[in-house]
Amino acid sequence: MSMEIRVPALPESVSDGLIVAWHKQPGDAITRDEALVDIETDKVVLEVPAPNDGVLESILINSGDTVVADQVIGIINDGAMATAMQAGEAAAAAEKPVDRLAGTGPAARKLLADYEIDPAQINGTGPGGRITKADVLAFLRSRPAEDKTEPERPRPATAAAPRVTPGLPELDEDRPQQRVPMSRLRARIAERMLHATQSTAMLTTFNEVNMQPVMELRSRYKEAFEQQHGVRLGFMSFFVRASAEALKRHPDINASIDGDEIVYHGFCDIGVAIGTERGLVVPVLRNAEYMSLAEIETYILEYANKARDGKLEMEDITGGTFTISNGGVFGSMLSTPILNPPQSAILGMHKIQDRPVAENGQVVIRPIMYVALTYDHRIVDGKSAVTFLKTIKELLEEPASMLLEI
């Protein structure tokens, strides 16, 4: 009996998606819930699982084509014929080469398909030999632009501009460049960033935090913390806790504009920005005000793994009343983060650096982090923004008071 493979329900406000890659080809045996195809939207990559055991009979929509919700994209044969086909496929499977695409992410798969590259030509540098997007791009850069069977001749001074094939390196090896299609996620990020700068009254205020108390507390208990909870104690959990407490004290920072109304949220859904191969994603910690440090670190680790594997779901990244971005992990000393509409503020963390500071009339060296708060001046006044950031500073410099909720 034949069974249709359909595009699942797409996220709210998403009208269509792009077939990134099929993991199976017609005639391949499949098992129930096995990932068959990746569909990229402007928010997440959706994995479409097999609805039943059987054999992939046909692919109706190829990689690179656009699809809409509930559209039929393939056919599975899950009856007696499928059983016979599986037996035939099992006999031939021993002769098939090892699937080099196993575990390869959607971005790398798309590049391999777009440029018709044999995965066997690439040495994967990811875990277990997995081919990453960076591996494919490095291969494209190193691949000869043309067959160099003739000896190279000096280029005339008036030579015509080198021919450029979209997505591939130029033939001019002295001035290489390459063009690649903008992914839907990257296009969506660009659209939202531009919208934020054009539709909000963004302003940024700064402060500095002496991280020594947090670092001493973390150093003292990190081993016991990891043994007890099975997750490492990082700095982000302290910032999430401090932000949740500060949001409760300054509700206008935890607000958003909806038309002509201001919505004050009675909960703290804090988004944590995570960089991936495909771009920036912001999974949300729901009701962060009730989370312990261990729960925060566990959720962040889980989201980071899902983001790396392209398995974030819509409920993971939708909503959010406040966002934290940590450019410090990449070495950023100072920045002005861009709002994540319709939120009214975003906190930027930066690199911890030893700096001379004055304490009790003495110059001492302390590990200092600059923090930045970008806010929407339409609903947040300067006083509120400054006092909110000052509250973050005070809570982090006295972490015991934050953890004891005093």
Residue 201 neighbours by CB under 8 Å, 6+ apart:
376, 377, 378
Q: What is the spatial distance between Cα 34 and Cα 55, in angstroms, rounded to a whole number?
A: 12
Token pair listed for 342: 């319709």
Q: What is the spatial distance between Cα 213 and Cα 263, in angstroms, rounded to a whole number?
A: 35
Q: What is the spatial distance between Cα 109 and Cα 116, in angstroms, rounded to a whole number?
A: 10
DSSP 108-146: HHHHHHHTT--GGGS---SGGGPPPHHHHHHHHHHS-SS
- Is residue 235 classed as helix, strand or coil in its secondary structure? coil
User: Is residue 18 within a helix (H) or strand (E), and if so which, with residue range?
Assistant: strand 17-22
Report, in angstroms and rounded to the nearest whole number, the Rg of the chain calculated over CA atoms: 26
- Is residue 183 classed as helix, strand or coil in its secondary structure? coil
Residue 370, amino acid: Y
Contact 263, 256 (CB under 8 A): yes
DSSP 294-348: HHHHHHHHHHHHHHHTT---HHHHS--SEEEEEGGGGT-----PPP-TTBSEEEE
Query: What φ, ψ does residue 258 adopt, rounded to 5°?
Result: -130, 95
Could you list the active site residues? 377, 381
CA angle 270, 273, 278 (to 5 degrees): 140
Residue 135, amino acid: D
Token pair listed for 184: 């839907």
